[in-house]
Amino acid sequence: MLVQLCLLLFVTSVLSCPVRNVHLDAQFEEWKRKFEKVYSGPEEEAMRRALWEQSLRDVEKHNREAELGLHTFTLGINQFSDMVSYRRGLDVSFCRSEDDEYLSPCL
C-alpha cells in the first residue's frame, strides 16, 4: 500500500510539472539572444522558459482571435515575455497628467 501511495504521488508530481515544448528550443534561444537574457541557473531558466511559452501561447491565441475580428489589434513577443503578468506592471508606474488627459510614466 505504501509503495502504491508513493508511486501515485510521484506520478502526480511529474504530471503537474510544466513540459517544455522542444520544438520551440531554437525560437527561445533566438529570443534570449535578441533580448540578452541570462538566467542565474537551470531552475530559473526552466521557470522563465515556461512563462515565455505561456506568453507565446497567449499571443498566438489573441492573434487568431484578431484574425476573426474579435480584437482590433495584434500582439507580439517582447523582452517581458518571460515575466509573470502581475510583474510586468510593476516595472513601470504611470501617473495622470496635470490636465487629466493622459497617463505617462512617473519619474
Of residues 19 and 93, the one with the higher pLDDT is 19
Please give the grid coordinates belonging to residue 65.
482571435
**Segment 21-50 mean pLDDT:** 94
Q: Assess whether pLDDT exceeds 90 at residue 36.
A: yes
> Among 30, 13, 40, 31, which Cα is nearest to 77's?
31
Q: Give the pLDDT score at 78.
A: 94
Q: Give the pLDDT score at 92.
A: 45
Length of the chain: 107
Domain ranges of the chain: 22-69
Q: Assess whether pLDDT exceeds 50 at residue 86.
A: yes
**Segment 49-66 mean pLDDT:** 95
At position 22, the amino acid (one-letter code) is: V
Q: Give the pLDDT score at 21.
A: 82
Alpha-carbon distance of 96 to 39, in angstroms, equals: 35
Of residues 97 and 91, the one with the higher pLDDT is 97
Q: Assess whether pLDDT exceeds 90 at residue 29.
A: yes
Q: What is the pTM of this model?
A: 0.63
Q: Give the pLDDT score at 11.
A: 42
